[in-house]
Structure 1
Amino acid sequence: MTISHPGAQVVGRLAQILRVVSASMPLGISTSEAARRSGLPRPTVHRLLAALSAEGFCDHDRRTGQWMLGPELYLMGSVAAERYDISEVAREHVIALAELTGESAFLSARRGDETVCLLRQDGSFPIRSFVLHEGRRFPLGVASAGIAILAFLPEASVEHYLESNDFSTEYGQVHDAQHLRRKVQETRRLGYSVNPGLIVEGSWGMGAAVFDASGQPAWALSITGIESRFAPERQPELGRLLLQHAHELSQKLRHR
C-alpha cells in the first residue's frame, strides 16, 4: 500500500532507515550502503540519519563514517521488552537445541513481513554457519525461520504475500513464488522447514514455528550448520527436536 500523506511518508522512511541500520549491527553501516539497501537517494538517507542522530536514535562514528543504533532506542527497547520480548522464556530452549544437536540454534521473531533474529547459541560442532546472527533480518519465506512462519499463516495471507513479492532477484530463482509455494507445502507436510543451502551454498538450516496465544506463528526456533550435518537420515530427528521445543515454548507463551 502506498502512503500518500507527506507526514506518514516521512515516518515510513525513518522506520525503513532504522531497520537497515539495525540489520547492520554491530558493525554499523555507511550512508551509501544504507541508501543502496533502502532504495532511497543518498542525500535523503543522509538527512534522515542526521535527524535520527540528533534525537539519539542513531550514533555516527566520525572516524569510520559508520552509522549505528543510538542510546534512545536502547532505552525505549528496555521499556517495550516487558511486553514483546520472549527471550528469557525462550533461552532455555535455544540452549537445549544447541546442546542436543551440536549446531547453532536461534530464536527469530516475526516483524511484519520479516523475521529478525533475537537469540543465537552455538553448539559444540566446531564448523559453523554465520548466515544468521542477532539483529539479522530476512523476508518471510527466506531462511528456515521465515519459511516456518510463512507456512502456518492463513492461506489467503500466504497467497497475497507471494503474489506481492519477488525475492528471486536478491536471493536467487529458488525464492520465486513458485518455489516458495512448494516450500510452504513441504513445511506444512513435515511440520518443520528445511533450507538446503538456498541462501549460501553449503549452509543448511531447519526451523519450526512458535505460536502466540491466538494461534498465530509469531516466532520460530531454528538451527543452522554445514550440509553434511543435515543428511537425510538425520533430518527427522532434528525436526522432532525442533517441533518438541517449539511446542513447549508455545505452551509457555500461551499461559504466560
Structure 2
Amino acid sequence: MRAERDEVHHADPEGPSGTQSVDRAMALLDLIGRRSVEGVSLSGLVAGSGLNKATVRRLVLALIRAGMVAQDEASRLYHLGDQAQVLGAMAAQRPGLARLAGESVMRLAQEVGDAALLSVRRGASSLCLLREDGAYPIRTHALVPGQMHPLGVGAGSLALLAALPEGEREEVMAANAAHLARAFPHYAPRLPALVAETAAQGFALNPGLIFEGSWGMGVALRHPGGRLAGALSIAAVDSRMREARRPELLERLRAEAARIERKLAQVAPRQGG
C-alpha cells in the first residue's frame, strides 16, 4: 500500500492536468458505477478506459481518498464508495428529470406492456437514466440504466440527436463518425437519413437496425423554453412494433412526454429556467 501511496506523487507518464485529469477520473467513476454491484478490477478499468495502468491507479486512489470509490479487501475489486451513495441520495431528492419522469416511465411500460426508457444527452453520447419493463414476457435488453451510446444509436438517442440545432447535430455526428464506423458499421451510413426523417416526422423509429429484432420508438423532451431535456422511448421485440400498432404506441408515448414536459414547466421557475 506504501508503494501505491507514493505513486500518487510521481508524474503521470501521459502528463494529464487540470480538466483532463478531472475528465478521466469521472470516466473511471462512470465505469465503476456501471459495474458497482459485481465490482470491476484494475485491469478492467484499464481496458474500459484506454488509459495506462499507472494513470488508472493514480486516479482511482484519488477517488478512494474522496470516498467516491471503495476497494473490496478480499476480491480487490472496485465499487462505488459511501460518498458516491450519499451524493446519489441527495441528487434523488431534487426535482430532476429522472424523478419528474419516473411515474410516466412506469405508466407507459404498464400501458404498452413493453420497456419504457428515459435517456439524456451527455456530450456526444446518450445515457439511459431509467428503464421499466412491461408485462410482456419476451423483452429486448438492448439498453439498460447507466448504459451509454453515441448520439443517434437507438430510438431515444436518435430523438435526442434529431432535436439538436442542425449545426450542432452535424458537429456531433462528425465527432462520433470514427467510433460509429467501428462499432456500428452497418448503421453509421444510414444515420444522416434517419436523423433527417426523425426531425421531419417528430419521432424516432429504430426498426431493428442496431440489434436484430430489437425495435424502438422515441420522442424528445424539452424544457419550457425549448431547451432539450431528454428523450422518452419504448423498446420492444419486432413483433410488438409492427405497423398496425405503431400509431397507438406513438399516441401513448407522446401523451406521457407531454405530462413530463408539464412537470418540467412547473419546476422551471424554481430552477431558474
TM-score, L = length of structure 2: 0.84
Counterpart residue type for residue 44 of structure 2: E
Distance 1:151 1:35, change over 3 A: same
- Counterparts of 2:117 and 2:43, CA distance in 1: 30
Q: Which residue of 2 aligns with 1:36?
A: 47
Equivalent residue in structure 2 for 1:202, among 197, 209, 213: 213
Q: Deviations over 1:71-95 (max 9, x none)?
A: 2122223334444622332122112
- Counterparts of 2:38 and 2:236, CA distance in 1: 23
- Counterparts of 1:109 and 1:150, CA distance in 2: 10
Larger radius of gyration: 2
Q: Which residue of 2 aligns with 1:229?
A: 240
Cα offset for 1:169?
A: 4.1
The yes-or-no answer on 1:171 pairing with 2:171 is no
Question: SS of the counterpart of 1:134?
Answer: coil
The alignment's C-alpha RMSD in Å is 2.1
Question: SS of the counterpart of 1:214?
Answer: coil
The yes-or-no answer on 1:218 pairing with 2:206 is no
Give the alignment of 1:69-80 within 5 angstroms. Answer: 69-80=80-91
- Counterparts of 2:19 and 2:71, CA distance in 1: 25
Cα offset for 1:138?
A: 1.9
Q: Which residue of 1 aligns with 2:145?
A: 134
Q: 1:168, 1:174 within 8 Å by CA — same for their partners in 2?
A: no
- Counterparts of 1:64 and 1:212, CA distance in 2: 45
- Counterparts of 1:232 and 1:42, CA distance in 2: 50
- Counterparts of 2:130 and 2:95, CA distance in 1: 14
Cα offset for 1:111?
A: 2.5
Distance 1:190 1:26, change over 3 A: farther
Counterpart residue type for residue 90 of structure 1: A
Counterpart residue type for residue 28 of structure 1: G
Cα offset for 1:247?
A: 2.0
Equivalent residue in structure 2 for 1:242, among 237, 253, 272: 253
- Unaligned stretches of 5+ in structure 2? 1-14, 268-273
Equivalent residue in structure 1 for 2:33, among 22, 45, 66: 22
Q: 1:23, 1:135 within 8 Å by CA — same for their partners in 2?
A: yes
- Counterparts of 2:44 and 2:181, CA distance in 1: 18
Q: Which residue of 2 aligns with 1:101?
A: 112
Distance 1:5 1:20, change over 3 A: closer
Distance 1:170 1:234, change over 3 A: farther
TM-score, L = length of structure 1: 0.89
Counterpart residue type for residue 84 of structure 2: L
Q: Deviations over 1:53-80 (max 9, x none)?
A: 2321112234444322222122223334
Cα offset for 1:211?
A: 0.7
- Counterparts of 1:28 and 1:5, CA distance in 2: 26
Cα offset for 1:25?
A: 4.2
* Worse-matched range after superposition: 20-29 or 211-220: 20-29
Q: 2:120, 2:129 within 8 Å by CA — same for their partners in 1?
A: yes
Moved over 6 A (4+): none
Question: SS of the counterpart of 1:6?
Answer: coil
The yes-or-no answer on 1:51 pairing with 2:62 is yes
- Counterparts of 1:201 and 1:62, CA distance in 2: 42
Identity of aligned residues (%): 37
* Worse-matched range after superposition: 195-204 or 208-217: 195-204
Distance 1:140 1:23, change over 3 A: farther
Distance 1:138 1:27, change over 3 A: farther
Distance 1:43 1:84, change over 3 A: farther
- Unaligned stretches of 5+ in structure 1? none
- Counterparts of 2:241 and 2:74, CA distance in 1: 43
Q: How many residues align?
A: 252
